[in-house]
Structure 1
Amino acid sequence: MLTLLQVEEEKLLPPASFSSFPFSPYDVQINFMKSLYDAIENGKLGIFESPTGTGKSLSIICGSLSWLKDHETRKENDLLSKISKLKGAKDTLARRVQEDWIQQQAEEMTLTNRIDELRTELEKMNLKSEKLKNLRNKKSLLSVKSPGIYKHATKTDKTDKTDKTDKTDKTDETDKTDQEASSESPNKDEDQDLALENSDCEEEEQEEASQFEDNAEYECTKILYLTRTHSQIQQFVKEIKKTVYLKEIRLVPLASRTNYCNNKEVQKLKSASLINQRCLDMQKTTKKVTTSCDKHGQPKKKTKCSNSCPYLTHSRVETLRDHILCELGDVEDIVAEGSKLSACSYYSARAAIKDAHMVVMPYQTLLHKPTRDAYGLKIQGNVVIIDEAHNLLEAIAAIYSAYVNGKQLADTLSVLNTYKNRFESRFKPDNLNMLCEIITLVSNLLKFLENKSAVFATMSGRDQTAQAFELFTINDFMNLADVAHINIFKLLAFIEEKKLSQKLQGYIDRFYVVDRNPAPVREKGPKAFLKYMAEKRSPRPPCPVKTVPEIVFTGNPVLEVVHFFESLTNMNENGRVILGCEGKAANCTIKYIVLNPSSYFEDIVKEARSVIVAGGTMQPFEEFVEQLYVSAGGCRSRIAEFSCGHIIPKENVLPVVVSVGPTGQTFRFNYQNRSSPEMLNELGRLLINTCNVVPAGVVCFFSSYEYEHLVYNHFVKEGLIAKLEQKKQVVIELKGSGLAEQLLKTYESAVHATKRKNSSQNGALLFSVIGGKLSEGLNFSDDLGRCVIVVGLPYASIKSPELAEKMKHLEAKKTGLGRQLYENLCMKAVNQSIGRAVRHYKDYSSILLVDDRFLQGHVQNHLPSWIRTSLKTCTTFGPVVGELAKFFRVHRTVQA
């Protein structure tokens, strides 16, 4: 009987060709797609390396979606096959004469039940398929009839009018609420929403997204694609639009509320934590009691609960959800459509996850379990593909690390105490006890910082070499801080259940001064001074009575403190607590660092059908084998590796190790030598020679922003910048978010600028930073990157307590792993910078590795294979210029 009920699933084989690829693929791309298809089918843990510029994204798209399409077809065929075989078994059983008719009926009933289960599953698949097909057809029909009609398809004119009125009323109500929040003291009823006790509408105080879940419906297998940034999601969607899957794939891009929120009033908050909290606060139900008469004329009261965000209505979110499933778009496209529909893009995208073939998201959305659970993302049986995974272990460690300082603890303690004092009479005894436990925990941590700060101040006064940090295991830290007796698991459950963080955010917004904008620039000069004196002489209005101390917050300190609490629930061996002392306790820090990132990857390895980590520079593979897959419980037999060369011809790249400068000065940019005037002047001479030979754009990478500025300032002082600008305009990367795109535009404009009359300037020289905004994810193709220069090796400081502890932890597991980590961190950063140039088959570029340590074998072994095979080493500077001149002379001839 069991053999009849269990039908073996037939294995899928990779297709001979991939017709979904938008053009004729190279051999390396075909091999990549076949290997990916096979790895997913056989449930492998894959490590895939394909150099940047080889069409890796398209290979991932076509290889994985080709498998998914075949898998869904097989699933339907398997159901039909199983039903047919079970029906045959049932007919055979009915014809067979048995003495034990009770046993025969039991077997027939078992087969019947199994057939019904399979038919139900098949019906769900067909119903879902038909529903989505009709939805797409309806969308296409409406779009043809009228480009703007779809947004009103689910509403009548009356509904539209009502929605518009509601939106106006709710907006006014929100503005009024914001004004009241800044008043002195709301009465008891007005601040009831801030108390811990449950309201009458507690059951309805849930996120709107839950309204769209239907667990009875069929959910197809999904590909969960992760990448580092939102801009890379946009690029990935752009690549899918090049393929035949443009009209077939149901793709959902996920993003944070910061990127997706359509409510302009919420967007003004800027801070991600404030936007999140405000969104959740606006979903809290408000009660509206209306009185009417029943059919007997008797008065009756009706309580209606509603949320205050005009964008979060069921019909609008459903309409936008359907649009997402029918039209392939990125985050910006969905936000634009959400604005047209006055619908919430964030919750519409979440509602579309269930019906998606592919869900695209930043790392943290899936890798951080609480975030994953909040989105309702399921790993079981799905395929996880992590692109740009060269720093995956570091990314996981960063996600689960936690940081809190003395000021945040002090501010949190102030909020908790005043909050308790205000609402104490309303709390139930159990809630009051839990709140007091949280106050004790925060208070003890703050006392610990104050004591350590005083001890360090005494030590540093006697010993100038005293270290400003201490390192503890979690257990030791909790004992020393006198918090080991507190059940943090229980406190965190209480905080989540009572939504304490959200309520404290509302309390802060209502009673405290919250600084949501940068501090204004202070006026200077005689006029400002006279104005200041006039204000001092003028009588001041009476100060309002404050119920709490006036503390200025830049956000919600409670969130950071609660996140740190979470880190203290980790296993003792998986992390360490680092105490940093700097002056007063307010400036002291407590940081939790992750030593074993794989412990947070275990559920993904065990539950997913297949996990693929991919990137342009994934070597050495052993790092991912040992520290990711095996440490997370994966079997070595499940691990599959793939690596390929570059698609560009060997003669299109010229990598050179430059160990000496024009005057014979040896280049070694270690900590001891890199700031010497002789070394900096020699580097300047190298750049001048290079700019004289290399046309168009040159990108020069330094080890850090501080060193980049040191070099630039020295060049200005010595007149070297002026000499460089005779040939190329010099552009420098500045530290700070939001500047990368503008900087790239400036550089691109300088590279492509028409040569001015009577000027020898040709192109531009960009000073950039290894590991900075321009070293990963951005492309310097063609004239933007005719030469990439890497100055020195960006080794991390061995004195860093965080790095030292991680190396020590790895050495304890296996000798050599610690040193391997140190080398890998450096060389992966170098390789990412190198990979910014040579982006397509006809592209060409030179690469100068400026440091004599690049001559060492173990350093060269970490370089990509396509670089190693062409690498030239020069012990004098003359041949470097000769090789560059020859290289560009040849390619100018070819282009001509």
Structure 2
Amino acid sequence: MTDQVDGIAHELSSLDFHHPYTPYDVQNQFMQTVYQVLETGNGQVGILESPTGTGKSLSLICASLTWLRNYKATRQEAALQEAGESYKDEPAWIVEQLLSRKRSELLQQWEDREKRLASIRLKEKAQEERGRKRRRVEDVSAVVETIADEDAEWLLDADDHEVSDRDALSGLSKESREILERIGLGGRIYYTSRTHSQLSQFISELRRPAFPPSLPPSVAKASDVSPTEPVKLLPLSSRQKLCINPFVARLGSVQAINDRCAELQQAKSSSKCSFVPKEELLSQTHQFRDSALATIPDIEDLHHLGKSLSICPYYASRVALPGAEIITLPYPLLLQQSAREALGIKLEGNVVIIDEAHNILDAISNVHAAEIQLSDLRRGRQMLGVYVKRFGKKLKGINRVNVGRVGRIIDGLSEWLEGALKFKVCLDEHGIVDPNDLTRHKGIDQMNIYELIQYIQESKLAYKIESYVAHVEAEGDSSNSGPPKAATPVLHTLVSFLIALTNLSSEGRIFYQKVHGAATDVKLTYLLLSPTHAFSSVASSARAVILAGGTMSPFQDYKDQLFPTLEPGKVTSLSCGHVIPPENLCVWTLASSNPASPPFEFSFKQRGNREMMTQLGLAILNVCNIVPDGVVVFFPSYGYLDEIVKVWQQRQGESSQTIWDRLQARKSVFRDSKGESSEDVLRDYSQAILGVRPAGDKRTGALLLSVVGGKMSEGINFSDRLGRCVMVVGLPYPNIASPDWKAKLEYIESTTEARLVKEGRNSGEATAQAKQAARDFYENACMRAVNQSIGRAIRHRGDYAAIILVDRRYGTDRIRGKLPGWIRDGLEKESHERGLGALMGALGAFFRKKSQAGNGP
């Protein structure tokens, strides 16, 4: 076994990942780990941490695409060998002739595809050079046919409930579908991240490296083919991002666009969308496919391509799917099984890479969350009344019954919320709702909610009611000369909440909560307590799953929450070091300012200590006196930041200057606040550091007071002079008294205990371990937020910064063990015992060395 492991390690160490630059050791380590997880397959999981600035995205690209090309080539070579073995009774020359023909066919197929795509790339380049603009579709009269009956758009069909959302490619013949499938040679990577901007950055990185062709070795060696093959990328997105039908796109909300789009494809629809791919325009579909696969497009490029060809990019993307090697898509499209099915995504045998995966637990909860407000329900009842007044007499059979049921559900939920507003909210602003109490009103518990949801989705009831009411309201507004305004998607919100209601199990809870700023409004919120079941369809289907991020520590929650039943041998975790040299990082923990002062412990009980707040202000002032340029300080919450600033603004004893005055005299001071734009604050902060100061201004750099988990703690780049020092004050534990956190911790405790008892542990031991599991989860959430804030400082190999963790609890092995590896490696081991004086000496020496080395400001 050891020899086998050594052999794999040797093979990986000699592998060429086709990195466009000379990779650092940590990048090689990262790429080798990704490759090994993908190569092993069989449900393997990799949880990988590579600090920001270490080229994580490029390493993911090089490792995964090198594996994919090798995998496809090896698989095709094996198929050729298998074909030869099936003719082993034939003479060798016949077998070789047969294999030679198969190799020629494979090579011809590959060359035909590559020549076609190369031709499109040349055409695109020529168009760009001539400055030719893409043709825009402006003749909206061709978008939809004339509607015979002005009410047809909103009236429910007698058989509407029997019509399901049809496949947009249903107009294509079986032969055409097979032709479209042939371009794909098997195996692909699904890459997902949190936002479209992050996906766009990934696509930009994808244009840097070049990879060898995916041909089997015996074919590539025997022919004179290009040493490289362009990557085939396809970005997927929602209809909201890709729809080119102006009558549909203007509806605004995702739900309304989805419903209207599906309605325009129904067989009985009197208005057809002219952009949906059609059998008679197959060449147009092929052109979209080839253009998309030839050019490494982002979402905006795909949208423009669809407009230039007058073909829907949302549905035409499905045609390009078989030929793509990498498919990018935002979190929700991967994490929802219904969304994957709608897009034609099949994970079986393929690879899933989740980048920025420190967000994945929250992302899964957000995708499956739902809420409804009393004001929404009142608006929904009003809309239903307007619709029934116009179409009530035309509603027959199941339509009449189900419209009535929707009304009863609205009335029942409204009745419960009105009662909560009178009796519950006056006692407590939030709490847990028993779903049985919720559905008892107006006989909701007697309805088949599953059937009603299916009816609403298939009949497009929510869209029809909301669009009709928007039409009526627009016509009644004489001052509005533009197109009808899209109504707030109240009924779609109701449907989402009903879906959550049917999914209720031990994994979910419903809460009531007062709506801030509205004295007469209250809302219901569904919260998914465990992501395990929701993620299982991804984890169980894919060949391998990679969770990658800049700050994944601590790792245990991903294993416990996403893969609790996966055997340990199938999980690989890696925390990479940083690419910066050790002398570019100074990490200290500060437990107190001096032996006579209270220790820094910003726990809920101690954080109101005014003396501690004062000593913190003086410590930050001392840091500002030594650190050049930018200092960023993260606090546990906006509320606590406000409290501390108030103390700093008060005079201490006979001092003529407050701590706040002294800070402002040393550096320009900025505060992150809930109400102010983070872009404005960051712009002013950057200008104070990088810009020219007015004559007489002796301040050096700027101080930014921010919040862990706030707008400045993620996605903001404090590189170089913008972040020469990052301080984290306290441990930002979530509010354990909030209903959602109480429910989460109770769920973890109860499920862990039940699992341990089932495994044969005695009751006392199981209870103790379950309580510890809940504490770990709570603490890990805190440390993930801390680690994310720390990661704002070092952004590239030449960067340098000091990181100061202010709280005596950072001196414990338990907390230190949950810091990223590169932070632990740079941490001054006994710093928590040495006080402010030693810290000032260390900071002074650190920045003097940088200045002497020519790295100073």
TM-score, length of structure 2 as denominator length? 0.81
Aligned positions of 1:204-243 closer than 5 A: 215-216=177-178, 217-218=181-182, 219=184, 220-243=186-209
Counterpart residue identity of residue 487, structure 1: N
Whether the aligned pair in 2 keeps the contact of 1:654 and 1:887 (CA below 8 Å) is yes
Shift of 1:404: 1.0
Larger radius of gyration: 1
**2:583 corresponds to which residue?**
651
Aligned positions of 1:859-874 closer than 5 A: 859-872=815-828, 873-874=831-832
Aligned positions of 1:754-765 closer than 5 A: 754-765=692-703
> Is 2:116 the counterpart of 1:135?
yes
Whether the aligned pair in 2 keeps the contact of 1:652 and 1:843 (CA below 8 Å) is yes
Whether the aligned pair in 2 keeps the contact of 1:405 and 1:586 (CA below 8 Å) is no
Shift of 1:357: 0.6
Mark the CA change 1:849 to 1:580 in structure 2 (over 3 Å): closer, same or farther.
same
Matches of 2:383 and 2:89 in 1, distance apart?
Answer: 70
Matches of 1:89 and 1:609 in 2, distance apart?
Answer: 36
| Aligned-partner SS, 1:147 | helix
Aligned positions of 1:800-819 closer than 5 A: 800-814=738-752, 815=770, 816-819=772-775
Mark the CA change 1:20 to 1:481 in structure 2 (over 3 Å): closer, same or farther.
farther
Shift of 1:361: 1.8
Could you tell which deviates more after superposition, 238-247 or 227-236? 238-247
Aligned positions of 1:83-232 closer than 5 A: 83-88=83-88, 129-130=110-111, 132-143=113-124, 145-147=126-128, 167-170=139-142, 189-197=149-157, 215-216=177-178, 217-218=181-182, 219=184, 220-232=186-198
Could you tell which deviates more after superposition, 837-846 or 874-883? 874-883
Whether the aligned pair in 1 keeps the contact of 2:263 and 2:269 (CA below 8 Å) is no
Mark the CA change 1:845 to 1:145 in structure 2 (over 3 Å): closer, same or farther.
closer
**What is the aligned residue count?**
783
Whether the aligned pair in 2 keeps the contact of 1:317 and 1:344 (CA below 8 Å) is no
**2:807 corresponds to which residue?**
851
Match of 2:662 among 710, 723, 730: 723
**2:235 corresponds to which residue?**
253
Mark the CA change 1:513 to 1:193 in structure 2 (over 3 Å): closer, same or farther.
closer
Whether the aligned pair in 2 keeps the contact of 1:79 and 1:122 (CA below 8 Å) is no
How big is each residue's C-alpha offset from its partner over 1:736-762, in whole Å with a ceiling of 9 and x where there is no partner? Answer: 79x445544443333212354432222
Shift of 1:554: 6.5
**2:77 corresponds to which residue?**
77
Match of 1:621 among 555, 563, 579: 555
Counterpart residue identity of residue 750, structure 2: A
Mark the CA change 1:89 to 1:707 in structure 2 (over 3 Å): closer, same or farther.
farther
Matches of 1:705 and 1:831 in 2, distance apart?
Answer: 18
Matches of 1:411 and 1:763 in 2, distance apart?
Answer: 52
Match of 2:709 among 771, 781, 796: 771
Mark the CA change 1:346 to 1:837 in structure 2 (over 3 Å): closer, same or farther.
farther
Could you tell which deviates more after superposition, 639-648 or 358-367? 639-648
| Aligned-partner SS, 1:568 | helix
Mark the CA change 1:727 to 1:208 in structure 2 (over 3 Å): closer, same or farther.
farther
Whether the aligned pair in 2 keeps the contact of 1:258 and 1:267 (CA below 8 Å) is yes
Matches of 2:792 and 2:663 in 1, distance apart?
Answer: 23
Shift of 1:783: 1.5
Shift of 1:21: 0.7
| Aligned-partner SS, 2:839 | helix
Shift of 1:665: 4.7
| Aligned-partner SS, 1:641 | strand
How big is each residue's C-alpha offset from its partner over 1:489-547, in whole Å with a ceiling of 9 and x where there is no partner? Answer: 11111112112222223223212469xxxxxxxxxxxxxxxxxxxxxxxxxxx999xxx
Matches of 2:395 and 2:62 in 1, distance apart?
Answer: 58
Mark the CA change 1:635 to 1:325 in structure 2 (over 3 Å): closer, same or farther.
same
Matches of 2:412 and 2:231 in 1, distance apart?
Answer: 54
> Is 2:52 the counterpart of 1:52?
yes
Shift of 1:880: 1.7
Shift of 1:704: 2.5
**1:298 corresponds to which residue?**
none
Counterpart residue identity of residue 235, structure 1: Q
Shift of 1:469: 3.4
Whether the aligned pair in 1 keeps the contact of 2:275 and 2:310 (CA below 8 Å) is no
How big is each residue's C-alpha offset from its partner over 1:605-649, in whole Å with a ceiling of 9 and x where there is no partner? Answer: 111111111223333333222221125xx3444222333322322
Matches of 1:192 and 1:817 in 2, distance apart?
Answer: 57
How big is each residue's C-alpha offset from its partner over 1:286-344, in whole Å with a ceiling of 9 and x where there is no partner? Answer: 988xxxxxxxxxxxxxxxx5327799998777645433211123334445656666765
How big is each residue's C-alpha offset from its partner over 1:548-607, in whole Å with a ceiling of 9 and x where there is no partner? Answer: xxxx99611111110011112225222112233579996222111112211011111111
| Aligned-partner SS, 1:483 | helix
Counterpart residue identity of residue 598, structure 1: T
How big is each residue's C-alpha offset from its partner over 1:722-775, in whole Å with a ceiling of 9 and x where there is no partner? Answer: 4333333233334379x4455444433332123544322222222222122332
Q: Percent identity between the aligned chains?
A: 33
Matches of 2:841 and 2:198 in 1, distance apart?
Answer: 38
Shift of 1:484: 2.3
Aligned positions of 1:878-889 closer than 5 A: 878-889=837-848
Matches of 1:310 and 1:743 in 2, distance apart?
Answer: 45
**1:35 corresponds to which residue?**
33
**2:216 corresponds to which residue?**
none
Could you tell which deviates more after superposition, 853-862 or 588-597? 853-862
Mark the CA change 1:660 to 1:260 in structure 2 (over 3 Å): closer, same or farther.
farther
Shift of 1:788: 0.5
Whether the aligned pair in 1 keeps the contact of 2:263 and 2:460 (CA below 8 Å) is no
**1:20 corresponds to which residue?**
18
**1:447 corresponds to which residue?**
415
Mark the CA change 1:168 to 1:762 in structure 2 (over 3 Å): closer, same or farther.
same
**1:732 corresponds to which residue?**
671
Shift of 1:823: 0.2
Matches of 1:484 and 1:204 in 2, distance apart?
Answer: 26
| Aligned-partner SS, 1:601 | helix
Counterpart residue identity of residue 836, structure 1: R
Mark the CA change 1:850 to 1:25 in structure 2 (over 3 Å): closer, same or farther.
same
TM-score, length of structure 1 as denominator length? 0.78
Match of 2:383 among 394, 398, 415: 415
Mark the CA change 1:543 to 1:490 in structure 2 (over 3 Å): closer, same or farther.
closer
Whether the aligned pair in 1 keeps the contact of 2:164 and 2:458 (CA below 8 Å) is no
Shift of 1:895: 2.1
Matches of 1:643 and 1:597 in 2, distance apart?
Answer: 23
Shift of 1:367: 0.4
Matches of 1:379 and 1:310 in 2, distance apart?
Answer: 25
Aligned positions of 1:668-683 closer than 5 A: 668-675=601-608, 677-683=610-616
> Is 2:457 the counterpart of 1:496?
yes
| Aligned-partner SS, 2:446 | coil
Structure 2 stretches lacking a partner, 5+ long: 1-7, 212-227, 479-484, 652-657, 753-769
Whether the aligned pair in 1 keeps the contact of 2:34 and 2:63 (CA below 8 Å) is yes
